[in-house]
Chain A
């Protein structure tokens, strides 16, 4: 397979996943704000700017952190390279460049999604209810993935597409957890230190906050099935990072990336055959053998930073091995 085509597949996977992650994050944040609106210190919009790493960028361009502007920024602003529209457009551009490699159904799906998305605006999102809009974005991503599963030949293009998708997913999960964890801990502290807190405030932060976090990565129901006891920060972190079966956990995603890379190289030996396999294999064994207690003991923020750095390294190693030489 042409390296450039592999590169396009890899990035289509990443962009579509990124668009979906953004949609989930804003959707959940939007609803959590509604629930926590009566707190004296409600969840701020700026926290999701930190998740996406766009805080500075945003503040350069916009004065207010009002909801509409935020939605404009995350969904429609084409000068924001991570906005949903930018991601879908970039995915489409990549798909257009390799139309003959992917199935025509995949192209049609991504093309139609892009054309439809261009018809939306912030006004229309409010008119139709934000939730249904974000649901539509998620559906589009799932539809694309489903079509890819159903119509794209098993082989390198599919493995690069999946490698991109799962690597992006691992990174997104680590990032959301990192920022949210930090926010919720801060909120909890503020709520506790105040002499008079409104009744139920603690519950909102300590329970609903974590539920919202689970929902934002689509993990709430899966979590419930796994843990029958309550929602605690440590359990949530352990679930999202180390659970082997949940499709958006970091461990599961990295395992999938490794599977893709092994299929691409055809390497069946336990030892890695190139830099990309080495990077992904190292992270996967770390996540496989780590216990939740050990992880919490390592200071979560630092550990999540380490995970994100590892994901970046895997991305660079894949590029150097296969895509740009």
Chain B
């Protein structure tokens, strides 16, 4: 019996199987491999993957769990495969979106034309929780505010990709994207030969290039460092991983100091000037002089040094206004306003409690909607109406009425599903997709992303803090679907070749997964 035999799509859009139960063409090679594999065999590979994760310490931290503060990131081994034409669409949509978001940020921190022209009410912008009034009028390098954007995409019941939210502050998860790929290459080396999967390992190279562009113009070989809140931050693994991959210093606030608007790090050879910071510390904690005075994570004077143009920051300050879920609802209008284009990727339909009519509708239909606080993330501060009790709905409705500006509601999107290996068999689980957009002199999207999975049956919450896991995401090369089958036929003799090599006592560990991580 094959692994996929009793798999059910249960009426959802399934990434791997069409509604009639046949595998989609781009999943064909994987389907055949899985069908030819015994459960025990698959199980063994899962264990191998898990062991690798634990031993390499690929973990995230769960707040409020005092015992083991680190947990390995749950990785499901069935990849999520995106065919070339779908990716081309996503790439075009994300590029367009991030261009508009940067124009928007440049505008709201200067002339606010979009408000004056009545496209977005000004009150939504200047009273947004993460709008930084102090930064009004400040110039930033190349007028770019968001250099790294992680936009969350979902697919609805008919398979349409929609934007669920943008992360313009400090999007995380890219290390899991890179590590998942390395682990899959180790665990299923042959699958990569059968599928024309586009590589993603140049992400950190591109990122470093982008960061170097942010250095003050007179600095020819700039020093770049990654600013982390420290080892107890939930994404510390990622900070350390990225710093290592880029070969830059990983610094904490206490390693840096500012003197006369220049930023230095304390090294064993004395102070050394820093030109660019990839900061993974939120605005609020970045600088106790300008923002929260109680922050011990930040660097006193950093914000003024940035303003003076002596250090580049990625992402810029004040980008959180674009993450506000009320502002999100206006992104399609922004695209039309700034680019005179129509949006390639639609939003999820969104009701703004701030508008009286919408508020009435939300309160009346709360049991059918997903309600979100405008400035919360990580799956916190939200209500999933269809899965909530009546009392919870009532309680949430009161909260919305008390503070309508800070709530939005969306119909529950029947997120697409992807097969996952659960308790010895394949079951469908809801997924989303977070590709990473790098925005420098040009905008680049690495072909892939973090596919997050809601591992609990029926759950729609994919956040790692709420029991989510991940999948490797394979973007296929153009024509990859057709290539798949012919590559498959070549796979056998090549595998044989590798075997004889190892019998000669050389290269016993396959080079495919050989990159250290």
Can you identify 25 A-B contacts, CB atoms within 8 angstroms? A1-B268, A1-B269, A2-B251, A2-B255, A2-B265, A2-B267, A3-B267, A3-B268, A4-B254, A5-B249, A96-B236, A96-B240, A98-B250, A99-B240, A99-B241, A100-B241, A104-B516, A107-B56, A107-B57, A108-B55, A108-B56, A115-B54, A156-B268, A264-B268, A322-B268
Of the listed residues B240, B241, B252, B254, the one surrounded by the most CB atoms of chain A closer than 10 A to its CB is B240
Q: Are B517 and A104 in contact (CB under 8 A)?
A: yes
B321 CB contacts on chain A under 8 angstroms: none
Task: Report A85-99 residues with CB < 8 Å from chain B CB.
Answer: 93, 96-99
Which one, A3, A111, A322, A325, contacts B57 given CB within 8 A?
Answer: A111
Of the listed residues A1, A2, A105, the one surrounded by the most CB atoms of chain B closer than 10 A to its CB is A2
What 13 new A-B contacts, CB under 8 Å, besides A96-B231, A96-B236, A100-B250? A1-B267, A2-B251, A3-B255, A3-B267, A4-B255, A97-B231, A98-B250, A99-B241, A104-B517, A107-B56, A108-B57, A323-B268, A325-B266
The 8 closest A-B pairs by CB, nearest first: A100-B244, A99-B240, A100-B243, A3-B266, A322-B268, A97-B231, A6-B268, A1-B268
CA distance A107 to B57 in the complex (A): 9
Q: Are B268 and A100 in contact (CB under 8 A)?
A: no
Task: Report A232-279 residues with CB < 8 Å from chain B CB.
Answer: 264
Please give the distance in Å from B252's CB to the nearest CB on chain A: 7
List chain A positions with a Cβ less than 8 A from chain B: 1-6, 93, 96-101, 104-105, 107-108, 111-112, 115, 156, 160, 264, 322-323, 325
Closest chain B residue to A325, Cβ basis? B266
List chain B positions with a Cβ less than 8 A from chain A: 54-57, 230-231, 236, 240-241, 243-244, 249-252, 254-255, 265-269, 516-517
B252 CB contacts on chain A under 8 angstroms: 4
A101 CB contacts on chain B under 8 angstroms: 250
Closest chain A residue to B516, Cβ basis? A104
Please give the distance in Å from B268's CB to the nearest CB on chain A: 5
CA distance A325 to B250 in the complex (A): 19
A97 CB contacts on chain B under 8 angstroms: 230-231
CA distance A99 to B268 in the complex (A): 18
Q: Are B516 and A111 in contact (CB under 8 A)?
A: no
B56 CB contacts on chain A under 8 angstroms: 104, 107-108, 111
Please give the distance in Å from B8's CB to the nearest CB on chain A: 38
CA distance A1 to B255 in the complex (A): 11
CA distance A115 to B241 in the complex (A): 20
CA distance A107 to B237 in the complex (A): 12
CA distance A3 to B272 in the complex (A): 11
B55 CB contacts on chain A under 8 angstroms: 108, 111-112
Q: Are A93 and B231 in contact (CB under 8 A)?
A: yes
CA distance A181 to B55 in the complex (A): 43
Q: Are A96 and B57 in contact (CB under 8 A)?
A: yes
Of the listed residues A97, A105, A112, the one surrounded by the most CB atoms of chain B closer than 10 A to its CB is A97
Q: Are A4 and B266 in contact (CB under 8 A)?
A: yes
CA distance A296 to B421 in the complex (A): 71
Of the listed residues A4, A108, A160, the one surrounded by the most CB atoms of chain B closer than 10 A to its CB is A4
A107 CB contacts on chain B under 8 angstroms: 56-57
CA distance A101 to B268 in the complex (A): 14
Please give the distance in Å from A305's CB to the nearest CB on chain B: 31
B269 CB contacts on chain A under 8 angstroms: 1
B57 CB contacts on chain A under 8 angstroms: 96, 99, 107-108, 111
CA distance A99 to B242 in the complex (A): 11
CA distance A2 to B225 in the complex (A): 11
A96 CB contacts on chain B under 8 angstroms: 57, 231, 236, 240
CA distance A250 to B351 in the complex (A): 74
Closest chain B residue to A96, Cβ basis? B231
CA distance A160 to B269 in the complex (A): 13
CA distance A76 to B252 in the complex (A): 31
Of the listed residues B240, B252, B268, the one surrounded by the most CB atoms of chain A closer than 10 A to its CB is B268
Closest chain B residue to A110, Cβ basis? B57
CA distance A104 to B156 in the complex (A): 41
Closest chain B residue to A6, Cβ basis? B268
B266 CB contacts on chain A under 8 angstroms: 2-4, 325
A104 CB contacts on chain B under 8 angstroms: 56, 244, 516-517
CA distance A108 to B236 in the complex (A): 16
CA distance A111 to B55 in the complex (A): 7
Q: Are A2 and B249 in contact (CB under 8 A)?
A: yes
CA distance A105 to B267 in the complex (A): 25
A156 CB contacts on chain B under 8 angstroms: 268
CA distance A112 to B57 in the complex (A): 9
CA distance A59 to B56 in the complex (A): 39
A160 CB contacts on chain B under 8 angstroms: 268
CA distance A115 to B68 in the complex (A): 11
B241 CB contacts on chain A under 8 angstroms: 99-100
CA distance A115 to B254 in the complex (A): 29
B265 CB contacts on chain A under 8 angstroms: 2
CA distance A100 to B251 in the complex (A): 11
CA distance A105 to B244 in the complex (A): 13
CA distance A1 to B271 in the complex (A): 10
CA distance A98 to B249 in the complex (A): 9
B517 CB contacts on chain A under 8 angstroms: 104
Closest chain A residue to B251, Cβ basis? A2
A100 CB contacts on chain B under 8 angstroms: 240-241, 243-244, 250
CA distance A2 to B268 in the complex (A): 6
CA distance A100 to B516 in the complex (A): 12
B230 CB contacts on chain A under 8 angstroms: 97
A264 CB contacts on chain B under 8 angstroms: 268
CA distance A246 to B269 in the complex (A): 33
